[in-house]
Amino acid sequence: MTRMGTPFDARTTAAEILAGVDLTGRRIIVTGGASGIGLETVRALRGAGAEVTVATRNPTGDQRALDLSDLGSVRAFVAGWIGPVHAIVANAGIMALPTRQVAANGWELQLATNFLGHFALITGLRENLRQAGDARVVMVSSGAQLLSPFDFDDPHFERRPYDPWVAYAQSKTADALLAVGAARRWAADGITANALEPGYIHTNLQRHLDDDTMRAAGAMDDEGNLVTPDYYKTPEQGASTSVLLAASPLLDSVTGRYFSSDNQEAEKVPGGTAGVAAWSVDPAAADRLWEYALTATAAR
């Protein structure tokens, strides 16, 4: 399969992705849309005329409550949704918690929030996505997926030593595999599913990182002030690939793919520092993960 290219690059903003695009009448859900790249995703989609529902843990105004680590909250959100949904942007997430934390049901918190809660939301709204006729599922993964496959034997670190980055990495691998799994199952319903990495951006996602880690990344000076390396993107640029997958006509009928932060489809690689890991787009792993997640979310 030939990799897909677009006329955009890493410095394209979300608004530029949608220049001239009319999204009037399209209903879109963005999780974690109250800050960071989620907020910029919402702004760009609304600017093009979409009706956007912001699903967030601490809602204000017209936002709707959604705690992805709490299946009761996810089910309440699903039950309260009426009518079609044209796109779900699974943007909310947490990263590199320094110590192992678990949700109320015992799930490791990064996996619960980044993947299992989104899986329950998306599968719970499948009929609403089908009603749209041409719906899109957008999974915000991460370049961290290159660091670890999904560990089916011990996904919640109940036996192996907890590692903040391995936990984050496997949750983002799972997000990419969710897109593959949905693409394989839902094409007949007119539903496409793709995943992406947004790149490096200063947002609240880094709130759990210590100063030494930030300095090693070149994102903080010796006095503790944030600095912006050349390879970092602005939030407006960071939201571009989410918006590309959620609403650009270029992605009509495109499904089961993974896009890098330069707004191009990523090269599949065995490992390394760029591209998408083979384990993150492996159909057999996607099918196995889908069955695991169905059982896990049904049993809680």
Give the residue numbers annotated as catalytic, written as ranges: 168
Strand, coil or helix: what is 254? Answer: coil
Q: What angle do CA 126, 127, 128 make, to 5 degrees?
A: 90
What does the block give as tokens for 172? Answer: 């983002």
Pairing of strands 27-31, 136-140: unpaired
What does the block give as tokens for 264? Answer: 């191009």
Q: Which helix (H) or strand (E) holds 194?
A: strand 192-196
Q: What angle do CA 119, 101, 108 make, to 5 degrees?
A: 30
Q: How far apart are CA 17 and CA 21, in angstroms?
A: 9
Q: What does the DSSP 8-state code read for residue 156?
A: T
Number of H helices, E strands in the chain: 11, 9
Q: How far apart are CA 162 and CA 173, in angstroms?
A: 17
What does the block give as tokens for 206? Answer: 């880094």
CA separation (Å) from 146 to 39, 131, 233, 271, 287? 26, 35, 20, 6, 19
Q: Is residue 84 a contact partner of residue 50, using CB atoms and an 8 Å limit? A: no
